[in-house]
Chains A and B, each alone.
Chain A
Amino acid sequence: MSGVDVTAVAKNYGATKVLTDITQNFESGTFTSLLGPSGSGKTTLLRIIAGFVAPDEGAVRIAGADVTGVPVHARNIGMVFQSYALFPHMSVAANVGFGLGRRGIRGKAAKAQVDEALEMVRLPGFGGRYPRQLSGGQQQRVALARAIVIRPDVLLLDEPLSALDRRLRQEMQVELLRIQRESGLTTIFVTHDQEEALTLSDKVAILDRGRIVQMGRPAEVYERPRTRFAAEFLGDANFLTGKVRGSAVEIAGATIMTEDRLPAEGATVTLAVRPEKIAIRPAETARSGAVENSLPATVSSVIYTGTALTYMLRSGDLHLKVFAQNSDGSPLAAGSAVVLSWSARHSVMVEG
């Protein structure tokens, strides 16, 4: 088992910079998501690791060997494509056995490994069928079996779940994670679905305009976003911009505390606060002094979704969003005066 190292990789298409100076280690046996909007370069990075795209600069090492100049077929990779890319003219067994054949494994030995792989993706006995006879989820599993049966040095997944409906996608997420854990493969997963990235990954890398702006454990990236983009793309956030006053930030007349190290007095900073971290209380019942931060506000609208409530609020010039549990069954009406409160460690200073 071994990881993937990307060093100073850059790629331009004409004048468009697709990737800029990407240096990242994907540790052996870990599941890493590349998360970003379309055009952020995540798919290009995956294709550079696979070998379909040659980087203009930089190097790619897989399992310790420099593969920058090595063509795709000579890299030992497994890849699952967005559309599965199963060979329609071959049976499931022939699809899964394709890579084994290229490695000189044929006959009984190949059949045993194909059966084992189909077992792993829970499709035993499906070898004789053709791709068109399978459902989307089953095709997905065959594509996965085909990619892992060759015991690749790295498993590359290009938005493999995006074509499935919601229920099936959640089911496949669980399966994917189980298979990755069982096989212990270093896995790199491209997605634009933040929930998917958080659920599946050991590490999440957030890409913005060709750069990895942050990489870390899902909880780390979610709770401590480093940039405004990361905070916004992974989850929802309220952004409060103000000036440093002493050990706090003055925003719209209120003093907001944070545990982050602040720059010099008078500097402009932006704090991100997750909507679910903010408690909302009617102004008349609000206790004071219990929490570090409190902000008076007015409810401008409520979105009722049954289990949860989303409040849109105003506080002076600020627009805020708060997620609340529908615990007492009577949401606050629009126009209500409320007090918002949250603890200092939930005010996260972000760049940009």
Chain B
Amino acid sequence: MIKIARLFLALVLVFLYLPIIVMAAMGFNASPLYALPFDFTTHWYQELAGNGRLIEAGWNSIWLAVLTAVIATALGTLAALALWRRTFRGRSILRILLLPPIAIPWLITGTAMLVFFFWTGIGRGLHAMLIGHVALAIPYVVLVVGTGLQTLRADLEEAAMSLGSTPIHAFFRVTLPLLLPSIVGAALFAFAVSLDQFVISYFLSVPGMTTLPVEIYSAIRKGFTPEINAISTILLVASMIIILGFARFARPGGIGERS
């Protein structure tokens, strides 16, 4: 049984990583038509360095993802604190309402946002994308931080208050440090949701002001070169470093559990 399971897991990993490895390798292959034999070159990376459109789209994506992560994490953490640590009317309804946006197809959310932003005069552009991405990311943040809060005993804050902490001091000295792994995890989630986002970005982008996924999509339609592989590889490596860094940082049980 265990052998079969291991084999299965190995297959899953192969199917996950093999296409990515091929994609990255082709960025270093001289043929613009992805033809073999493999002939190593850094030509496409040099080309990329001169491709203003792709680079600008790449920076747009990164800035958007960073801003989304910061804003969504701040708002989502506050929401999680309210939803799990305070009692108020309609709390359970609000908690339930958080879940459907995760399951609603992005195409529908995107259309709805496009119409709504048009009617409210927000329009399209990077600012509209930011609003859209933040709205998309908040439910993930609330869920991740909320789960972290549930594993954190409420009496820790009470203990701090019994020793003379004001509620705010208790929050910053006790709750926040213990919640930090969850908050960092949530921020990464929000970052990934934004960086990955295509449908909503596509709907809300204006020509000349787009994100990398949208730019890659239009490049593919026009016929593309291994430059796309090059920029994809750069992004891939960057996000792998972030994720692996986080995995080291947030061991189970949080930073408080590290020796």
Contacts and interface: CB of A to CB of B under 8 A. Distances in A.
Contacts of B115: none
Contacts, number: 66
B162 A87 contact: no
B158 A52 contact: yes
Interface residues of B, number: 22
Nearest to B161: A72
Contact of A88 (B162, B167, B257): B257
Contacts of B165: 73, 98, 102
Interface stretch (A74-82, A246-254, A311-319): A74-82
B174 A87 contact: yes
A75 to B, nearest CB: 8
B163 A89 contact: no
B163 A150 contact: yes
Interface string A189-216: 0000000000000000000000000000
Contacts of B259: 130
Nearest to B157: A85
Contacts of A132: 257
Given A83-B153, A88-B257, A89-B177, A73 B166 contact: yes
Contacts of A77: 162
Contacts of A78: 162
A110 to B, nearest CB: 13
Chain A CB within 10 Å — which of B158, B164, B254 has the most? Answer: B164
Interface string A44-80: 0000001010000000000000000001111001110
A158 to B, nearest CB: 9
Chain B CB within 10 Å — which of A88, A146, A147, A150 has the most? Answer: A88
A85 B154 CA distance: 9
Interface string B16-46: 0000000000000000000000000000000
SS of B interface (majority): helix
A85 B158 contact: yes
Interface of B: 153, 155-156, 158-167, 169, 174, 177-178, 254-257, 259
A218 interface: no
B158 A88 contact: no
A172 B167 CA distance: 31
A99 B158 contact: no
Contacts of B161: 52, 71-73
Given A52-B161, A89-B255, 13 more contacts: A72-B161, A73-B161, A73-B162, A73-B169, A74-B164, A79-B159, A82-B155, A85-B155, A85-B158, A87-B156, A102-B163, A102-B165, A156-B162
A80 to B, nearest CB: 9
A63 B256 CA distance: 37
A155 B255 CA distance: 31
A128 B255 CA distance: 17
Given A89-B178, A99-B164, A81 B255 contact: no
A261 interface: no
B89 to A, nearest CB: 14
Interface in A107-123: none
